[in-house]
Chain A
Amino acid sequence: DTEVTQTPKHLVMGMTNKKSLKCEQHMGHRAMYWYKQKAKKPPELMFVYSYEKLSINESVPSRFSPECPNSSLLNLHLHALQPEDSALYLCASSSWASRGTGELFFGEGSRLTVL
């Protein structure tokens, strides 16, 4: 069982909806990540948080808004998404907080469908 918990596992939303994806880890990791993965493609990095501060934003559209309320939680707020945003959204954490690198522990992902 993964030590990174993501909710919800599945989400269907319309283009005008506002929803959030949540991620939680209790391993004491200080780097947390959001990745997006489309079918038969590798995970693509979206955001990195180190010590609760946003350290990398890979030019992600503003309709995706990350938030790190504390060292254990990471949220991804979704608003006005497009059908092409449908994908598996993976949260990960890492213990190499100073560089935000190293071994990643992934959650099981939230499978998002935008209608």
Chain B
Amino acid sequence: RKEVEQDPGPFNVPEGATVAFNCTYSNSASQSFFWYRQDCRKEPKLLMSVYSSGNEDGRFTAQLNRASQYISLLIRDSKLSDSATYLCVVNRDDKIIFGKGTRLHILP
């Protein structure tokens, strides 16, 4: 079992819809959690850190469930510019581990 798992998608979602991704992690010693966004042929960029209390940044909401060992990302009122690959990232000890990413296509 991979340490960080994501549904690769693609998720094809009409503009304006709400979309949610989950990511599961296998090691309960994982310490911190992030969502990164990567556009085609570009570098990954931090989207949000993820906390147990949940956090929201505009149309984006991230949640962490330590008991079930998953994190989620919710995007409301999706825009065409949200089309990208969303990478779940987990920190354990000195290692930062990337999931394979979920591809999102927002359709006009």
A interface, CB within 8 angstroms of B: 2, 33, 41-45, 48, 50, 55-56, 88, 90, 99-109
The contact size tier of chain B is 20 to 34
Which residues of A have CB within 8 Å of B104? none
* Cross-chain contact B93 with A99 (CB below 8 angstroms): yes
Q: B interface, by DSSP: helix, strand, loop or mixed?
A: strand
Nearest B-chain residue to A99, judged by Cβ: B94
Complex-state Cα separation, A44 to B97, whole angstroms: 8
Nearest A-chain residue to B36, judged by Cβ: A104
Q: Which of A43, A106, A107 has the most CB of B within 10 A?
A: A43
Complex-state Cα separation, A50 to B93, whole angstroms: 13
Which residues of A have CB within 8 Å of B36? 104
